[in-house]
Each structure stands twice: as structure tokens, then as C-alpha cells.
């Protein structure tokens, strides 16, 4: 503050867990906004240890949503609506439930229906129930949960279409990726929120859609590698026990962190 920085301490009863940056730049006599939304902390040490994702965009709707949220945090009014972002404690829970139900409805009609969720924690009872209903409707669901998971996969009549795995390796899995395939429509999201009551209802969290084909292809690639992993992956059984995945004879050996590093080096990124 002595150097001229406006420091805001937030709310006493609402933790700010979102990871976002807003840049306003004058370009040719006009102001243009850029936004960065990440899954991980802006922290030099954890950036070398955690696996995370971020998107830097000039999308006007996303930048406007970030600006509205910053105005809310700094005390300049409560947002009435968000254009593209899913934001807790306002629209995140309802938006997530809506997308799970859309996939369930697609499955009930015999359409392509798939959900992939990469999270740190999955313990919110209402979200677990929605995933069970989607599975019962015929949707295929894959969950990559780093730590806690209250959902039981593979239970007949309840969750036989759900698989859950966890990855343990060189880096701490920290990113959150959500994908929803609803017929021909496929949506991709990244953000700061885990599927816990505190994240959905008691924190400021931001989850953003990703629509650029190159970037959605990267997210799809990450998830494909994680679901093919047979060296770092642990799978959750119906009885709640975890079993390490082992490659069978003739199967290609896939270790997520090694494979993703190889892909990044091949791209030169």
C-alpha cells in the first residue's frame, strides 16, 4: 500500500480461492482487457512441484466476468449474472448440476454421453448423487481424484458406468479439468474448484470454459494419457479399496508424468 498498491483483504466468511488476473491495456486509443484463469496458486515454489493449467485470453465475455468478480471482491457491488464463467458461491453448483443432467438426458435418449472429471477431492453428496443418476441413465463417467473420493464406482444398479482412479508420481496432481459430452456437443472447463461443499458454496471459485480447438485438444490429450496410465495409476474398487494398475503382457507402458513431459518437449513448449 505504501508503494501505491490497492490491497484488498476479502470477506471474513468467504475464502477467495480463485486464481485469476485481469490486465487492462490501452491499444490504439481503446482499452482492451486480458484475463488469466488458473487451476493453481501464483506461487514460485509450488509451480515447480504441482501439475496445473492456466488459460490467458482476450475473450470479452470472460474478461468482463473477471472484472465483475474483482469489483465484487473489492466492494463495488454484487454481480447480477455471469456471461461464461461458473463462479462460486453464485452459479458454480447449479451450472455443474445442469451439465451433469444434460449428459444424463443425452444418455437416456441413446446419444453419446460421457463425463470426465479431474479433481483433487470429490466429496459433495449432491454432486455424487447426480453422477450416480447419470451413470444409471447410461452415461460413461471417468473420475481422476487425487485425494478423497466419496463416490463408489462399479456398484450394480448404481454406478456400474463409473471408473475412479488416482495418479501418484513425480508431481502433485492439482489441476481441475471437467469435460461433458452431450450428443455431438462437448464442453471443456478448467478452474480452481474441487467438488466439496466448501468450494461450491463457501468460497469464491472460478471455472472457465475452454473452447479453442487447439486447447481443447490439449485437455483431451491430458485426460487420455491419464486414463491410459498403467504405471502411476491406482484404481478404486467397489468395496472402497485401492489397487495399483499394472500393465498386462503386450500392453504399452504409460506413465502420465513421463508421457506428458515427452509430449511437451516434442511440441517445444
How many helices (H) and strands (E) are present in the chain, helices listed first? 7, 15
Catalytic residue among 17, 121, 174, 257: 17
> In the sheet that 30-38 helps form, which strands lie side by side, from edge to edge?
20-27, 30-38, 54-57
Cβ atoms 89, 204 nearer than 8 A: yes
DSSP state, 103?
A: H
Helix, strand, coil percentages for the chain (3-state, nearest 5)? 30, 30, 40
- CA dist 170 and 50 (Å) reads 9
43 catalytic residue (yes or no): no
Question: Active-site residues: which are they?
Answer: 17
Amino acid at each position: 500500500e505504501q508503494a501505491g498498491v490497492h490491497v484488498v483483504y476479502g470477506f471474513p466468511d468467504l475464502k477467495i480461492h480463485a486464481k485469476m488476473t485481469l490486465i487492462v491495456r490501452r491499444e490504439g486509443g481503446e482499452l482492451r482487457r486480458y484475463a488469466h484463469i488458473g487451476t493453481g496458486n501464483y506461487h514460485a515454489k509450488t509451480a515447480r512441484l504441482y501439475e496445473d493449467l492456466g488459460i490467458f485470453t482476450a475473450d470479452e465475455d470472460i474478461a468482463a466476468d473477471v472484472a465483475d468478480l474483482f469489483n465484487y471482491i473489492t466492494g463495488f457491488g454484487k454481480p447480477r449474472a455471469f456471461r461464461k464463467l461458473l463462479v462460486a458461491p453464485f452459479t458454480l453448483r447449479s451450472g455443474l448440476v445442469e451439465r451433469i443432467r444434460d449428459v444424463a438426458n443425452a444418455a437416456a435418449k441413446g446419444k453419446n454421453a460421457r463425463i470426465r472429471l479431474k479433481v483433487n477431492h470429490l466429496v459433495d453428496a449432491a454432486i455424487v448423487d447426480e453422477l450416480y443418476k447419470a451413470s444409471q441413465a447410461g452415461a460413461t463417467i471417468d473420475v481422476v481424484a487425487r485425494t478423497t473420493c466419496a463416490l463408489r464406482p462399479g456398484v450394480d444398479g448404481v454406478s456400474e458406468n463409473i471408473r475412479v482412479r488416482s495418479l501418484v508420481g513425480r508431481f502433485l496432481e492439482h489441476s481441475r479439468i471437467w469435460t461433458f459430452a452431450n450428443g455431438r456437443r462437448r464442453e471443456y472447463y478448467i478452474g480452481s474448484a474441487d467438488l466439496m461443499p466448501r468450494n461450491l458454496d463457501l468460497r469464491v471459485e472460478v471455472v472457465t470454459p475452454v473452447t479453442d480447438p487447439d486447447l481443447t485438444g490439449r485437455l483431451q490429450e491430458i485426460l487420455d494419457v491419464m486414463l491410459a496410465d498403467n504405471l502411476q495409476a491406482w484404481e478404486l474398487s467397489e468395496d472402497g479399496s485401492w489397487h495399483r494398475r499394472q500393465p498386462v503382457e503386450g500392453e504399452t507402458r504409460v506413465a502420465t508424468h513421463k508421457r506428458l513431459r515427452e509430449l511437451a518437449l516434442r511440441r517445444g513448449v
